Amino acid sequence: QFVMVFLWLLLLLVSLISVKTKAKTAVEGQDFYFSCKYKDGQGVNTKYFSHDESSTPLILTDKHDQWVSIGRFSLISDEGNTFYVTIDSLTKDDSGTYWCGIERHGLDTYNKVDLIVIKGETSICSTPLSAGGASGRLSRGG
């Protein structure tokens, strides 16, 4: 039984060490765009986005190439091992730690994003912020 506990703790430690953390700063009032990568073979798994280690995702989907929106949060998964998340109209209260993850048997695969929202200026920037390799403006249709 000791061996099982040791192996479980070792697996947990390895998963914590492998968490990729991104620290991002964004401006209050703007939309925030960023990407979350996943490994080959995980494309069919459910993708989710949560806040401050909450067990309840803010948004999740198992769909591809289709925007899913709940409130100010939107998520789309593409075929290129990436899913994109947006938060519309940032407020200072949006500052905090977010997790973008992939559900799988055993431990989920996830990335940690530390978001700091700063006070906005009077001018509005037309170029969206991006993180983790997302570039350009993502279109949600409409």
By residue range, what is the domain housing residue 26? 20-118
Residue 24 within a domain = yes
Residue 134 within a domain = no
Q: What is the mean pLDDT of the chain?
A: 77
Share of the chain above pLDDT 70, in %: 71
Structure tokens given for 36: 């979350």
Torsion of CA 112, 137, 61, 15, to 10 degrees: -20
- In sequence order, what are the beta bridge partners of 112? 21, 99
CA separation for the pair 84, 81 (Å, rounded)? 10
Structure tokens given for 75: 């998520």
Structure tokens given for 78: 């593409």
Counting the structural domains of the chain, the total is 1
Categorize the per-residue pLDDT at 40 as very low, low, confident or very high, splitting at 50, 70 and 90. Answer: confident
- Specify the pLDDT at position 43: 81
For 68-79, the pLDDT digits (tens) are 999 999 999 887
Residue 26 within a domain = yes
| Average pLDDT value for residue range 19-45 | 85
Higher-pLDDT residue of 89, 14:
89
Residue 8 within a domain = no
Residue 80 within a domain = yes
User: The whole model's pTM is what?
Assistant: 0.69
Residue 34 within a domain = yes
**CB-based contact 111:19 (threshold 8 Å):** yes
Residue 50 within a domain = yes
CATH number at residue 60: 2.60.40.10
- Specify the pLDDT at position 105: 81
Residue 72 within a domain = yes
Q: What number of other Cβ atoms are within 10 A of residue 85's Cβ?
A: 25
- Specify the pLDDT at position 42: 82
